[in-house]
Structure 1
Amino acid sequence: MNTTSNHDERMANLTFASVYPHYVVKVEKKGRTIAELHQVIQWLTGYDDHALQQHIAEKTTFDMFFQRASVNPNASLITGTICGYRIQDIDNPLTRQVRYLDKLVDELAKGRKLEKIFRH
């Protein structure tokens, strides 16, 4: 699926720090913890708590966030629809990675077990 260049540029320029609080609210509202959120983010990106706090403090864009990440090789197993896009059909690699993260946060908030979220 081709996203527009404007959409891809917006995704690249969004800061992780601006989106992270929304992830926290979403999972906590559904009874999940920040520790579980961090586990999900770490599975996808390889970032530990300290690295996440650095990205938040530095206001890292998603472009830099994912450039520096060690994206899990099983991330391509994340499929489904998020924000009206079929993840597996998104052509732009960065936009696809951001949507992977969105999908994992959604699954966590919906009560999916961590073992299921961590694709093997």
Structure 2
Amino acid sequence: MKPRIFGTSFADVYPLYVAKAERKQRTKAEVDEIIRWLTGYNQKQFNAQLDKQVDMETFFAEAPEPNPSRVLVKGVVCGVRVEEIEDPVMREIRYLDKLVDELARGKAMEKILRGG
């Protein structure tokens, strides 16, 4: 059985990422930049996915150009090592969770985006 998060609308989760960043004096624009870097969506494509209310699984499955440097995202999210997650969709979700965590902790964007 698939994890419940897979069927959750990305548009429902996205404001939680933004709120987490904003609580730590970071911006929605920075969250959007992270998402674009991770997935390859441009802002128009990203906004269209939000408007269509696609679920998390579809959002990542339709990502036009997942960044090859995303494999450099390492560490623990929710008690699980990101690099050890076997399910490819869950790994993508956790990559995003980890990147937003780094943003909220005050890490520089250049480091979050793994140098580019």
Same fold (TM over 0.5): yes
Q: Which has the higher contact order (CA 8 A, sep 6+)?
A: 1
Unaligned runs of 5+ residues in structure 2 are: none
Calculate the TM-score normalised by the size of structure 2.
0.92
Counting matched residue pairs gives 114
Q: Say which of 18, 30, 37 aligns to 1:24.
A: 18
1:89 corresponding residue in structure 2: 84
Q: Is the 8 A contact 1:27 1:109 kept in 2?
A: yes
CA RMSD of aligned residues (A): 1.2
CA distance, structure 1, for counterparts of residue 47 and residue 25 of structure 2:
22
Tell me the CA shift for residue 48 of structure 1.
Answer: 2.1
Deviation, structure 1 residue 46? 1.1
The correspondence for 1:62, drawn from 56, 81, 90, is: 56
Runs of 4 or more off by more than 4 Å in structure 1? none
TM-score, normalised with respect to structure 1: 0.89
Match of 1:49 in 2: 43
The residue number in structure 2 matching 1:100 is 95
